[in-house]
Amino acid sequence: MKIIAGIDIGNATTETAVAGTEYGKVEFLASGIASTTGIKGTSDNIKGVFNSLAKALKAAGLTEKDLDEIRINEAAPVIGDVAMETITETIITESTMIGHNPSTPGGLGVVSGITVLLSDIAKAEQGTAHVVVVPDDISFEDAADAINSFAEMMDIKAAIVQSDDGVLIDNRLNKPIPIVDEVSLIDKVPLGMMCAVEVAAPGGVVEVLSNPYGIATMFGLDPEETRQIVPIARALIGNRSAVVIKTPEGDVKERRIPAGIIEISGSRNKVTVDVDEGSDKIMQAIDLAGDMQDASGESGTNAGGMLDKVKLVMAQLTGQSIREIKIQDILAVDTFTPQKVRGGLANEYSEENAVGIAAMVKADKLQMEKIAEELTEKIGVPVKVGGVEADMAIRGALTTPGTDKPLAIIDMGAGSTDASIITDDRRITSIHLAGAGNMVTLLIKSELGLRDFETAEDIKKYPLAKVESLFHIRHEDGTVQFFDKPLDSKLFARVVILKDGNMIPLEGEHNSIEKIRLVRKNAKQKVFVTNALRALSRVSPTGNVRDIPFVVLVGGSALDFEVPQLVTDGLSQYKIVSGRANVRGAEGPRNAVATGLVLAMSEEDGK
Ligand code: ADP
Ligand code: MG
């Protein structure tokens, strides 16, 4: 009996299958999995190959010496990368809005009045409603005393406070009023102007000032003025407290940032499209162009920067010149990202529109031969480059119980979504598309304003819960779980990720469980459902996805707890049966390519 190994070097993961084979019969012995080291298709991969192989051999009770032959994948000559550009920007040219989530606002409700410095309240007009402005050189005790003593004489509706003493002032007032605190640039608050203040109850969000018609009602705006304050209302959505001040020259603009033009050269046409127009238009342009030969962005614009960055990264990683790098596919999606409002007074954030792009470039295919040669030298076992990755994946996928030809697979990895189809007469067609797991993670990261990729990756992979007391949590599906021992007090009232039996608390109060869930699901939908349909329509013999009866999902992203359902759902509208693979009835959606490599080897051996 010969001992053989198939090794699949992916963008993210290196997977191994070890088997014994004799007379074309094959018996799988063990599998191994390790992170890919370095960029796929470079000699940096060798370390990851050793790790993955070592795990499989150990599980099989074998050593490298027992191996007769190794096959590595003829890597799909594509590498993916992702980029994002913001295409709108909110600018306040005159201070007119404060919307933020101070941790300690005071009072409750929505009121309006004329802004006046607390120290000037004695001189203010009686009988007029006022909102007092309290710089931090006034202590909370003095502020509370002053508001209390003037409460009889003057109509004080609300307070805007520079320090974070909202609650301390509030506690000392005879008659509570809404208080917005932590307004750092308080000297920029215009005085003698009409001002509306809203503070929501704990756990709530402002409802009047985040609604254009609410603002219009407070200030008696006409339709044209109402149209102009839409960006303010939008920027205030989701805040616990907000202030809007009407100044004669005040202006908040939503500006569209000229993002630039992308030019796509395809087999049919050369098409240009303005990134500002959003992802649908970009995807239509890509369709119109035919098979993509290259894409470039107008130089000096964000679009140019975005595509150049992808090409530069790929050029550096593969040691080619930037001119040799050709973009082969693009997936564009509409997204949004919280950005600091320019000209804001209290670090206000606004959700700006953005376009996310996953791009895929052709990589140098000869590199796999080099890796095979190096490996042969190091291990002393013949290492060959086996069949095309997509063909191998389909062979591996066909070991899923209940599958048969004709069959299509969708391989959902980190950088690309690949699809292939095998017909009754064993003809295989395949395609590689930009956009997969990394794109989903990027969307989650930017939409939730997270600092690091790892947190976003965890949010993608694991369910959430809210720690409601030290003895119970509420899972995102609403079920409650109790604990005998108290949880770590640091977790109290936090949204946590349930990862491998641990609870990882998330930073940031803006992100409720509902919002994170929505962002997470939408990101998966936008990337994987879109790409599943795009991929299948390209490999379908008729060009129509409806003519594909069965689809099996493989790859790391098919392990996702939501993606397979979303894709199954999306495809069921086209009467396609789809589901997650179970390679060799044991491996789930993993190890398809490695398994296929072993099967191909043993078939040759049997001839
Ligand atoms: P490649 O073939 O490109 O190496 P893989 O098939 O290993 O890629 O898939 C890697 C992708 O799968 C990554 O984007 C990773 O985040 C994702 N992934 C891995 N495990 C899970 C999981 N349990 N749930 C969701 N996504 C996962
Ligand atoms: Mg793969």
CATH assignment of the domain containing 156: 3.50.30.70
Quote the number of domains for the chain. 3
**What is the rounded distance in angstroms from the CA atom of residue 517 to the CA atom of residue 464?**
8
Last residue of a domain, one of 222, 245, 268: 245
d(CA 306, ligand 1 centre) in Å: 24
Q: Is 501 exposed, middle or buried (0-12, 13-18, 19+ CB in 10 A)?
A: exposed
User: Within a domain: residue 459?
Assistant: no
Ligand 1 in reach of 305 Cβ (< 6 A): no
User: Within a domain: residue 180?
Assistant: yes
User: Within a domain: residue 443?
Assistant: no
Residue 46 belongs to a domain with what CATH number? 3.30.420.40
Q: Are residues 39 and 65 in the same domain?
A: yes
Q: Are residues 351 and 374 in the same domain?
A: no
d(CA 388, ligand 2 centre) in Å: 12
Contact (CB, 8 A) for 242 and 210: yes
Candidates 7, 8, 13, 462: which one to mutate for ligand 1, based on the most atoms within 8 Å of Cβ? 13
User: Within a domain: residue 189?
Assistant: yes
Sheet holding 292-297, edge to edge: 270-274, 261-266, 292-297
Helices H, strands E: what count in the chain? Answer: 16, 30
Candidates 15, 81, 554, 559: which one to mutate for ligand 1, based on the most atoms within 8 Å of Cβ? 559
Ligand 1 in reach of 414 Cβ (< 6 A): yes
Q: pLDDT at position 592, please? A: 96
d(CA 567, ligand 2 centre) in Å: 18
Q: Is the dihedral of CA 451, 488, 240, 164 positive or negative?
A: negative
- Six-digit token string for 269: 């046409």
Ligand 1 in reach of 525 Cβ (< 6 A): no
Last residue of a domain, one of 221, 245, 269: 245
Report which ligand 1 atom has the smallest distance to the Cα of 460.
Answer: 25
Candidates 360, 439, 461, 557: which one to mutate for ligand 1, based on the most atoms within 8 Å of Cβ? 557
User: Within a domain: residue 173?
Assistant: yes
Ligand 1 in reach of 461 Cβ (< 6 A): yes
Ligand 1 in reach of 557 Cβ (< 6 A): yes
Q: Are residues 295 and 155 in the same domain?
A: no
Longest dimension (CA), the chain: 102
Residues of the chain short of pLDDT 70, as ranges, are: 76-78, 90-101, 248-257, 343-346, 363-366, 508-510
C-alpha closest to that of 63 among 54, 72, 75: 54
Q: In terms of residue numbers, what domain contains 215? A: 90-245
Instruction: List the residue whose alpha carbon is closest to atom 24 of ligand 1.
Output: 560
- Six-digit token string for 2: 């010969």
d(CA 538, ligand 1 centre) in Å: 23
d(CA 273, ligand 1 centre) in Å: 32
d(CA 415, ligand 2 centre) in Å: 9
Identify the nearest ligand to the CA of 12 by its number: 1
**What is the rounded distance in angstroms from the CA atom of residue 333 to the CA atom of residue 355?**
6
Phi/psi class of residue 105: alpha, beta or left (left: φ > 0; alpha: ψ in -120 to 50)? beta
Q: pLDDT at position 230, please? A: 81
User: Within a domain: residue 341?
Assistant: yes
Q: What is the DSSP letter of 515?
A: H
Q: Are residues 117 and 239 in the same domain?
A: yes
Report which ligand 1 atom has the smallest distance to the Cα of 415.
Answer: 3
Ligand 1 in reach of 432 Cβ (< 6 A): no
Residue 260 belongs to a domain with what CATH number? 3.90.470.30
Last residue of a domain, one of 361, 379, 409: 361
Q: Are residues 275 and 344 in the same domain?
A: yes
Ligand 1 in reach of 12 Cβ (< 6 A): yes
User: Within a domain: residue 239?
Assistant: yes
Q: pLDDT at position 325, please? A: 86
Q: Are residues 227 and 293 in the same domain?
A: no
Identify the nearest ligand to the CA of 527 by its number: 1
Ligand 1 in reach of 560 Cβ (< 6 A): yes
Q: pLDDT at position 77, please? A: 64
Q: Are residues 105 and 193 in the same domain?
A: yes
* Three-point CA angle 347, 352, 355, nearest 5°: 140
Contact (CB, 8 A) for 139 and 131: no
- Six-digit token string for 178: 């809404």
**What is the rounded distance in angstroms from the CA atom of residue 60 to the CA atom of residue 487?**
41
Q: pLDDT at position 34, please? A: 97
**What is the rounded distance in angstroms from the CA atom of residue 291 to the CA atom of residue 542?**
17
Contact (CB, 8 A) for 171 and 189: no
Phi/psi class of residue 117: alpha, beta or left (left: φ > 0; alpha: ψ in -120 to 50)? beta
Report the C-alpha dihedral over residues 428, 431, 432, 433, rounded to 10 degrees: -150
* Cα–Cα separations (whole angstroms), residue 184 to 106, 180, 195: 17, 11, 18
Identify the nearest ligand to the CA of 587 by its number: 1
d(CA 414, ligand 1 centre) in Å: 6
The CB density around residue 465, as the number of other CB atoms within 10 Å, is 23
- Six-digit token string for 598: 């072993």
**What is the rounded distance in angstroms from the CA atom of residue 111 to the CA atom of residue 206?**
12
Q: What is the DSSP letter of 124?
A: S
Q: Are residues 183 and 268 in the same domain?
A: no
Beta bridge pairs of residue 253: 91
* Cα–Cα separations (whole angstroms), residue 306 to 86, 330, 439: 11, 12, 14
Ligand 1 in reach of 520 Cβ (< 6 A): no
Q: Are residues 143 and 22 in the same domain?
A: no
C-alpha closest to that of 178 among 243, 259, 273, 266: 243
* Three-point CA angle 446, 87, 242, nearest 5°: 70
| pTM across the whole model | 0.81
Q: Are residues 9 and 52 in the same domain?
A: yes
Ligand 1 in reach of 457 Cβ (< 6 A): yes
**What is the rounded distance in angstroms from the CA atom of residue 19 to the CA atom of residue 550?**
28
d(CA 53, ligand 2 centre) in Å: 16
C-alpha closest to that of 209 among 171, 179, 239: 239
- Residue 524 neighbours by CB under 8 Å, 6+ apart: 440, 460, 560, 562, 563, 566
d(CA 214, ligand 2 centre) in Å: 52
Contact (CB, 8 A) for 541 and 424: no
Ligand 1 in reach of 415 Cβ (< 6 A): yes
User: Within a domain: residue 136?
Assistant: yes
- Residue 175 neighbours by CB under 8 Å, 6+ apart: 151
Beta bridge pairs of residue 532: none
Q: pLDDT at position 95, please? A: 44
d(CA 555, ligand 2 centre) in Å: 6
Ligand 1 in reach of 400 Cβ (< 6 A): no
**What is the rounded distance in angstroms from the CA atom of residue 146 to the CA atom of residue 121?**
9
Q: Are residues 122 and 197 in the same domain?
A: yes
Q: Are residues 45 and 173 in the same domain?
A: no
